[in-house]
């Protein structure tokens, strides 16, 4: 075989690499709509009765505005699915622009309204009236519809990205020239959405029941379920696929019926909407992100070589505060992930222990963005036993500090500040430049 042909074969990425890169891209796409949720969480919290409402400041009209604004983004029927639809479409399409988002929105609205044309049958003992089912005592409950929720939004986003990529440069005959290129894709997506909605009406009921059964099983595991999720979450972060685990559990599985009859899904959404039993898959992150990982950063700073301690101390202070205040942990985790993977494995296991311990002790807390101080303070009134997070977190901080300090010293791990002499010399030259 000629050398050029061999080189071409060697350069060609394997199917696994292509799939893996696609999954990573998908994971990054899911982060875009998730980035909107802090605003939704803050607005929703300000609209609660104990903040701006009747049991708080008494600004009832202001509370309604805030609750309505936050609820629009957290709405499980259209708000959240639409956010994920647009985010995935923009993230997955190459060189996406505004027309990509327009195609996604057009398709999603058609899909959503087709589903709304087929309400579920009223239960025995009730009859359909207007927009709901009326019981014998005269009470009316609103119709329910097939609701693929966030999953449906993600699929619509993928379809929008695919068809935009395929047809955004298509040219039609001259007399249809106005619809060339980007203007054609929203039209295509409207028809694609009809087909997908009809498919959902057929296949979603058994899928939905299966997901509900899986959710019930996961919740029934109690502390074990929380712990398994915590370990898997940190393990998948290594390869950038953790959002594939997070999104269904945080935004789709489980259900909670609000006092007004609205049904919401997902651990985070249920918590923010007032479910007292939610938080199984979020609470245990607070001790790790607010206390344990900042303690690990402190251990790394204290373990640095004396002439690097000031430099590394400033860096670790920055990333430690970032983790404590916002819950963004990747800067700390990536500082030791690749140089000490065994230490990262211990961190993943301890995250699972924190998840299991907090749930076993009856602590229930949640977040709209991540498990940092901001969400901890904002959601104090919604949480159960939130004060326990502080002593639990301090305990994990001590454990992390000791483990990291000992492991770095004993195994001479090349964490920041302890790199080999050649690398340190290069770093010093870069700093001088």
Question: At CA 231, angle to CA 30 and CA 210, rounded to 5?
Answer: 65
DSSP 44-103: HHHTSTTTTSTTTT--HHHHHHHHHHHHHHH-TTTHHHHHHHHHHHHHHSTT--HHHHHH
Is pLDDT above 60 for 8?
no
Whole-model pTM above 0.85?
no
Tell me what the pLDDT averaged over the chain comes to.
84
- What is the separation, in whole angstroms, between the first and last Cα of the chain? 49
* Maximum separation of any 2 CA atoms in the chain, in Å: 84
Average pLDDT over residues 125-147: 72
- Output the pLDDT for position 140: 67
- Output the pLDDT for position 176: 76
Lowest mean pLDDT among 37-41, 136-140, 391-395: 136-140
CB–CB of 51/62 below 8 Å?
no
- Output the pLDDT for position 2: 54
Distant-in-sequence, close-in-space partners of 76: CB < 8 Å, separation ≥ 6: 147, 149, 150, 251, 263, 264, 265, 266, 269
Query: What strand order describes the sheet that includes 127-129?
Result: 127-129, 132-134, 140-142
The fraction of the chain above a pLDDT of 70, given in percent, is: 91
Lowest mean pLDDT among 102-106, 256-260, 323-327: 256-260
Rounded to the nearest 10 degrees, how much is the dihedral formed by the CA atoms of 351, 356, 357, 360?
A: 160
Lowest mean pLDDT among 151-160, 175-184, 327-336: 175-184
The fraction of the chain above a pLDDT of 90, given in percent, is: 36
Q: Give the residue extent of every domain in the chain.
A: 15-74, 79-88+95-220, 222-433
């Amino acid at each position: 075989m000629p050398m050029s042909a061999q080189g071409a074969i060697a350069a060609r990425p394997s199917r696994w690499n292509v799939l893996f890169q696609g999954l990573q891209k998908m994971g990054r796409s899911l982060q875009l709509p998730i980035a909107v949720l802090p605003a939704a969480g803050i607005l929703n919290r300000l609209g609660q009765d104990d903040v701006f409402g009747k049991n708080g400041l008494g600004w009832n009209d202001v509370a309604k505005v805030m609750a309505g604004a936050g609820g629009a983004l957290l709405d499980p029927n259209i708000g959240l699915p639409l956010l994920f639809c647009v985010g995935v479409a923009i993230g997955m399409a190459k060189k996406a622009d505004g027309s990509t988002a327009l195609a996604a929105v057009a398709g999603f609205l058609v899909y959503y309204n087709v589903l709304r044309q087929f309400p579920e049958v009223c239960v025995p003992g009730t009859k359909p009236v207007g927009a709901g089912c009326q019981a014998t005592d005269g009470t009316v409950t609103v119709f329910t519809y097939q609701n693929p929720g966030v999953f449906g939004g993600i699929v619509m986003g993928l379809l929008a990205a695919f068809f935009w990529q395929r047809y955004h440069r298509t040219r039609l005959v001259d007399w249809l020239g106005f619809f060339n290129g980007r203007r054609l894709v929203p039209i295509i997506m409207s028809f694609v959405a009809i087909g997908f909605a009809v498919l959902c009406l057929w296949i979603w009921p058994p899928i939905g029941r299966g997901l509900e059964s899986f959710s019930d099983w996961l919740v029934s595991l109690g502390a074990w379920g929380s712990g398994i999720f915590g370990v898997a979450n940190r393990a998948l972060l290594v390869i950038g696929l953790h959002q594939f685990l997070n999104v269904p559990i945080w935004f789709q599985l489980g259900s909670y019926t609000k006092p007004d009859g609205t049904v919401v899904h997902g651990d985070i959404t249920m918590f923010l909407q007032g479910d007292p039993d939610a938080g199984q898959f979020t609470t245990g992150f607070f001790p790790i992100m607010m206390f344990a990982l900042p303690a690990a950063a402190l251990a790394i700073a204290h373990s640095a070589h004396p002439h690097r301690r000031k430099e590394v101390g400033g860096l670790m202070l920055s990333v430690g505060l970032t983790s404590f205040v916002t819950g963004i942990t990747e800067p700390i985790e990536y500082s030791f992930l690749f140089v000490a993977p065994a230490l990262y494995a211990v961190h993943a296991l301890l995250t699972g222990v924190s998840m299991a311990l907090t749930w076993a002790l009856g602590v229930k807390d949640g977040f709209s963005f991540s498990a940092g101080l901001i969400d901890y303070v904002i959601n104090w009134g919604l949480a159960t036993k939130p004060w326990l997070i502080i002593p639990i977190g301090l305990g994990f901080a001590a454990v992390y500090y000791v483990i990291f300090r000992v492991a770095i010293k004993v195994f001479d791990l090349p964490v920041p500040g302890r790199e080999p002499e050649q690398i340190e010399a290069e770093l010093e030259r870069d700093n001088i430049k």
